[in-house]
Structure 1
């Protein structure tokens, strides 16, 4: 198989053998792809190593069979996205999330666009926490685990902004009855996420807690390095 001129982002790059890099890439048409950039760590390489970095929009070509392919083409498609500090941590969180939840060779038709838009929003200075919640919501939908945000899963009635709900994993929201073990979230927060309308700070905290719990379930109860890093940093929550 050979693919040419495919829009892509590099999620992670690590040394592979003595002179190569193993690139984990998110591509528009092929989902997550593992690509070996052979010889790119040599002093002279046909591919500029400097462009094979996260946050750089690329067009890649690869060929081969199996789970790992060989890089045959790489060029930039736009200027790199400039981020630093908290926004850079947020971008690395996105990369880790996609790496952990998306298998190689499993295309998701809208994921690349959602990822690209999220990076553009972060780079443009849009509110980080809300930008991440929107991506997490869209990622869950892309993976086939879309959230129920607009109706009570028990009664079928529309969500009310005045009601507090318990979000039942694998089902959705239902009226909260005081169960301390349930994920408590206000109807106003659910509707904000459903309508793509930025919530107020308190609702944002509720949505962060909800999405963290739902994503952790998809991780098999595991955690992310970005979450551990965030908990050790004395700054406002974004992930």
Structure 2
């Protein structure tokens, strides 16, 4: 029986996650769209100086895309910048690339996640505007993508016993087993990476909020966001199957190259 022809897509909200060279004049794009999820597109002739899409198909920019075709890699038909904000720069640009890498590693192609798309759009906007702490934006999105992918355990229950968390007790997040009560006998390392039950309960409440991204930004501010970095990193590495995310390693390499004390400004013009 003949395979049903896929309908052509018009004016789909989307972001470019990554670009690969396909030929001297064309690119393969990995895009994240609201109603179709991750999609691979070939952008023919887009590298030519005369291409109208050359300056449009950039990461971390809200776009409207059109495409068609029945192959695994569809053909880009139209692309328009939706407007709304400028591209993040500096460390926030690398943070945005990190969010893109999470989407590429944790989501399958052609699997729609419209709520996660909206959270991603909010996260990119927050990074571009620079009014929120970068670490809080990253932690909030990490929690949301893990939940959307079905990889985040309940944060209000001790997973082995299904007992409700005690606010004053401490629990560590284990990739294989979820939240586990931490005892003094577990050693200083386990205690160091454990968070209080009150902290985990606050995060679960933020996830259950009607506007979870905004609620998680508040919940991940300051010391709590810093304490979450290690357990969330372990969970992401475990489920993505990678030891080090490339964008995170790039961030660390750049920071090592920066001088500890910036040079004094020269008096010369």
Same fold (TM over 0.5): yes
d(CA) in 2 for partners of 1:208, 1:64: 41
| Deviation digits for residues 3-28 of structure 1 (CA, Å, limit 9, x no counterpart) | 11110000112321121111110000
Note the aligned Cα RMSD (angstroms).
2.1
Which residue in 1 is equivalent to 2:203? Answer: 193
Which residue in 2 is equivalent to 1:140? Answer: 146
120, 126, 135: which one aligns with 1:121: 126
Q: Is the 8 A contact 1:189 1:204 kept in 2?
A: no
Which residue in 1 is equivalent to 2:182? Answer: 176
* Ranges in structure 1 where 5+ consecutive residues have no aligned partner: none
d(CA) in 2 for partners of 1:94, 1:105: 18
| Deviation digits for residues 83-114 of structure 1 (CA, Å, limit 9, x no counterpart) | 21111111111111111222222222322111
> Is 1:162 paired with 2:168?
yes
Matches within 5 A, 1:13-52: 13-45=19-51, 47-52=52-57
Q: Is the 8 A contact 2:116 2:145 kept in 1?
A: yes
Higher helix share: 2
* Ranges in structure 2 where 5+ consecutive residues have no aligned partner: 1-5, 207-217, 259-269
Q: Is the 8 A contact 1:11 1:25 kept in 2?
A: yes
Which residue in 1 is equivalent to 2:209? Answer: none
Higher gyration radius (CA)? 2
d(CA) in 1 for partners of 2:41, 2:202: 39
> Is 1:73 paired with 2:94?
no
d(CA) in 1 for partners of 2:153, 2:118: 19
Aligned residues: 234
> Is 1:231 paired with 2:252?
yes
Q: Is the 8 A contact 1:134 1:193 kept in 2?
A: no
Q: Cα 1:199–1:107, aligned 2, differ >3 Å: closer, same or farther? A: closer
Q: Is the 8 A contact 1:137 1:147 kept in 2?
A: no
Q: Secondary structure at the match of 1:49?
A: coil
TM (normalized to structure 2)?
0.79
